[in-house]
Amino acid sequence: MISKEILVIYPEAETTKIAVYRGNNIIFLKTIKHKAEVLKKFNTTIEQIDYRYQTIKSELKDNDMYSNEITAITARGGLIKPLKQAGVYLINDKMIEDLKKGYQGVHETNLGGILASLLAKDFKNAQAFLADPVVVDELDEIARVTGHPLFKRKSIFHALNQKYVARKYSKSNANCYDDLRLVVAHVGGGGISIGAHKRGRVVDVNQAFDGGGPFSLTRTGSLPVGKLIEVCFSGKYTEAEIRKMVTSEGGLKAYLGISNIHEINKRIEEGDSEAEFYAKAMGYQIAKYIGSACAVLDFNVDAIILSGQIFNYNRFTEYISFKVKKIAPIAVFQSVNDMDALAMNALLAIQGEIAIHEYK
């Protein structure tokens, strides 16, 4: 077993998670919380790079983790060019350039690769990687068609989470991921992505970042097109305000004023009928899109996989399962550890068990 250490970086809107693994074993984990008043000093997300870099260095040094034993640094992926092949990518200058300019948009995920690259320079012989970024694009060509040539569907989804649980499910059932037909529904803290996995490729998936699909804790998902056009040209909102409405101020947050699933579940348990109704509506939409993904696979589905913290609550699991259980067996992964998934990919890469791809 390799004894070198792997540093994992996972930037989010108000936090940066870092972890150090020795082989498969985690030896350090920290969630760095960034104060709102500090983040407000930066005009753009990319301007936060040096601040987050310095805070990571400080945490590693304060906890005696700033060591040359770190030979791989892997990060949460960003909005770079579409990647036709899933897997591990070496972070190079071209990728850094695309992360900084936001090739497909600017998001906290863009910081991950940049921070990994900076930190790799601090350690002897360290390499910096992205693993299964959100822009993995294995769509069948027919899945890209929208209904008008000006518009084309693109693949931005929870590739890391989906690939991880799909492989984990396959292994636990003594199967190879590349041999199975699976539907994976991942309910994240932001969006929800539902993918049709056909023999190792995600051939169709809703665009979870700012596009279609079920509404989530903070995102609107698909909206009535006519009404959306009307709102856009009403003069009441700027483009930035509408984007915020769709990506971070929609979903259950718009209906209930909160987006924390634990608080929502508590309100339901206390008899809040409004919270129960809209949570059920979200589950209804998830089940509906699972059905659509099953149709992509001709309803020849080996398993439907539900992943995400929300499935720690039986009411959500049971409601969705009831609607789709006749299609295929259901597997539930309540705890999807992105840090473990990133570390596992880096470990396999430095051990030579999987290929390291070049970003072009």
Q: Positive or negative, the Cα torsion across 63, 64, 68, 70?
A: negative
Query: Under 8 Å CB-to-CB from 14, ≥6 apart: which residues?
Result: 33, 34, 36, 39
What confidence score (pLDDT) does residue 238 get?
97
287 in the same domain as 150: yes
How high is the pLDDT of residue 106? 85
Segment 138-150 mean pLDDT: 97
Residues 152 and 300 in one domain: yes
pLDDT, position 31: 96
pLDDT digits (tens, 9 = 90+) for 117-126: 999 999 988 9
| 164 contacts 108 by C-beta, under 8 angstroms | no
Domain membership flag for residue 253: yes
Please compute the mean of the pLDDT values over residues 129-138 and round it to a whole number.
95
Q: 250 in a domain, yes or no?
A: yes
Task: Tell me: do 283 and 178 sit in the same domain.
Answer: yes
Residue 3: pLDDT band with limits 50, 70, 90 = low
Q: What is the mean pLDDT of residues 24-37?
A: 94
What percent of the chain has pLDDT above 70?
99
Pair 90, 29 in one domain: yes
- What is the mean pLDDT of the segment spanning 141-165? 95
204 phi and psi, to 5 degrees? Answer: -155, 140
Per-residue model confidence (pLDDT) at position 84: 94
Q: Specify if 288 maps to a domain.
A: yes
What global pTM score does this model have? 0.91
Question: Does residue 257 fall inside a structural domain?
Answer: yes
Residues 175, 63 within the same domain: no
CATH number at 162 reads 3.30.420.40
Higher confidence at residue 294 or residue 109?
294
Report yes or no on 333 lying in a domain: no
Phi first, then psi, for residue 292 (nearest 5°) are -65, -40
Mean pLDDT of 267-284: 97
Chain mean pLDDT for the chain: 95
Q: Are 213 and 128 part of one and the same domain?
A: no
Lowest mean pLDDT among 16-20, 185-189, 336-340: 336-340
Q: Is the pLDDT of residue 278 over 90?
A: yes
Tell me whether residue 210 is in a domain. yes
| pLDDT score of 264 | 97
> How many domains does the chain divide into?
2
Same domain flag for 113 and 184: no
Residues 223 and 254 in one domain: yes
Residue 315 and residue 183 share a domain: yes
Measured torsion, CA atoms of residues 151, 214, 46, 56, in degrees rounded to the nearest 10: -150
Q: Would you say residue 204 has pLDDT above 50? A: yes
Co-location of 120 and 167 in the same domain: no
User: pLDDT digit string (tens) for 298-313?
Assistant: 999 999 999 999 999 9
Residue 321 is assigned to a structural domain of this protein? yes
pLDDT-derived band at 206 (thresholds 50, 70, 90) equals: very high
DSSP codes, 51-87: HHHHHHHHHHHHTT---TTEEEEEE---S-S-BSS-S
* pLDDT confidence bin for 209, thresholds 50/70/90: confident
138 confidence band (pLDDT: 50, 70, 90): very high
Examine the domain organization and report whether 88 and 156 are in the same domain.
no
- Whether residue 95 is contained in a domain is answered as yes
How high is the pLDDT of residue 1? Answer: 43
**Pair (146, 236) in one structural domain:** yes
**What DSSP state is assigned to residue 88?**
E
Q: Which 3 state secondary structure label does DSSP give 132?
A: coil
Pick from 338, 345, 347, 18: nearest CA to 186: 338
**Domain limits for position 310:** 141-328
